[in-house]
Amino acid sequence: MIPKSVLKALREQIRKELYSAYYYLSMSAYFTGVNLSGFAHWMRKQYQEETSHALKVYDYIHERGGKVILESIDKPPSEFKSPLDVMTKVLEHERSVTASITALYELAVREKDYPTQIMLDWFIKEQVEEERSVDEIVNLLKMIGDAPAGLIMLDRQLASRGS
C-alpha cells in the first residue's frame, strides 16, 4: 500500500506530467505556425514522452493498489518570442519537474516507501537526460544568434528525432 502522503504526491506528479505534455504541444503548435517543422516535431516528441511519463506514474499507482484521481490541467501559454525563448522556457520547466521529482523521492524516503523510491530512480535518470538535451539546444541557439542558416540547420537536425 502506498502511504497517503506519497499517493497524494504521485497524483500531483501525474498532473504535472500531463501539464508538461500540454505545454510542449502548445510549443509544437507555435513552431508549426512559424514554419519550423523540425522544432515542432521535436516538441511533439516531448509531448508524447511526457504523456508516457504520466502513464508510468498512473500505472504504478494502480499496481500498488492505489486510486488514481485526475485533477484539472492549467492552460499553457501559446505565445512565444522566439525559438530561444521557447527552449529557455523548456529548460526552466524541466528543472522544475526535476525539483518536483526530487521532492517526491525525498518524501518516499521519509515514508520508507522503498518501491516508490525504486520507481522514481528511473525518473531521476530521465530528468538528467531531459535537462542535458534541452540545455544543448539552448546553447546551440545562443551560438546561432540571428543567423537564419544556423536556425534552418538546427531545425533539420531536430526533425530527425526518433523518440
Q: Cα torsion for 34, 49, 19, 62, to the nearest 10°?
A: 160
- Cα–Cα dist 99/111, whole Å: 18
Record the cell numbers describing residue 85, joined without a space. 525563448
Among 41, 18, 14, 16, residue whose Cα is nearest residue 29? 41
Interhelix angle for 83-110 vs 37-63, to 10°?
10
- In the chain, where the domains are located: 4-159
Question: What pTM was computed for the model?
Answer: 0.95
pLDDT at position 163 over 70:
no
- Cα–Cα dist 41/19, whole Å: 18
pLDDT reported for residue 74 = 96
pLDDT at position 48 over 90:
yes
pLDDT at position 119 over 90:
yes
Residue 161's pLDDT band, with cuts at 50, 70 and 90, is: confident
Length of the chain equals 163
Record the cell numbers describing residue 55, joined without a space. 502513464
**Non-local CB neighbours of 50 within 8 Å, separated by 6+ positions:** 17, 18, 20, 21, 24
User: What's CA 96's distance to the chain center, in Å?
Assistant: 9
In degrees rounded to 5, what are phi and psi of residue 24? Answer: -70, -30
Residue 125's pLDDT band, with cuts at 50, 70 and 90, is: very high
Q: Using alpha carbons only, how large is the chain's radius of gyration in Å? A: 17
Exposure string over 42-61, b if 16+ CB within 10 A, otherwise e: bbbbbbebbbebbebbbebb
May I ask the CATH architecture of the domain 4-159?
Up-down Bundle (1.20)
Residue 9's pLDDT band, with cuts at 50, 70 and 90, is: very high
pLDDT at position 162 over 80:
no
Average pLDDT over the chain, rounded to whole?
Answer: 97
Mean pLDDT of 31-60: 98
